[in-house]
Amino acid sequence: MSKKDFITLTMEDDSELQCATLGTFQAGEFEYIVLQPVMEAEGEVLVFRYSEDADGEPLLEEVDSEEEYQTVSSAFEDFVDRLLEN
């Protein structure tokens, strides 16, 4: 993964949301990225399925099923536990 400290998300209403990259983790067959909106409530994070295009630019996809959500939730808890240990 190419390390980017910030990612700008374009929302459905075409507004932009600047997010800090907190890290990535593996869950099942996919990699996920954890983002924290810079100007939002403290503690709020967003988790997306993560990959990169041929130019190394991030590609983010929403978690789209309850089964995937359950897998990601468990792996996310482990990710947070590892962050708190450091």
Q: Are 79 and 66 in contact (CB under 8 A)?
A: no
Q: What's the token pair of residue 62?
A: 């929403």
Contact 23, 15 (CB under 8 A): no
- Residue 81 has a pLDDT of 87
* pLDDT tens for each residue of the chain, 86 residues long: 445 788 999 989 999 999 999 889 999 899 999 999 987 667 788 999 999 999 988 899 999 899 998 999 889 989 888 878 86
Rounded Cα distance between 9 and 60, Å, is 9
Domain ranges of the chain: 6-85
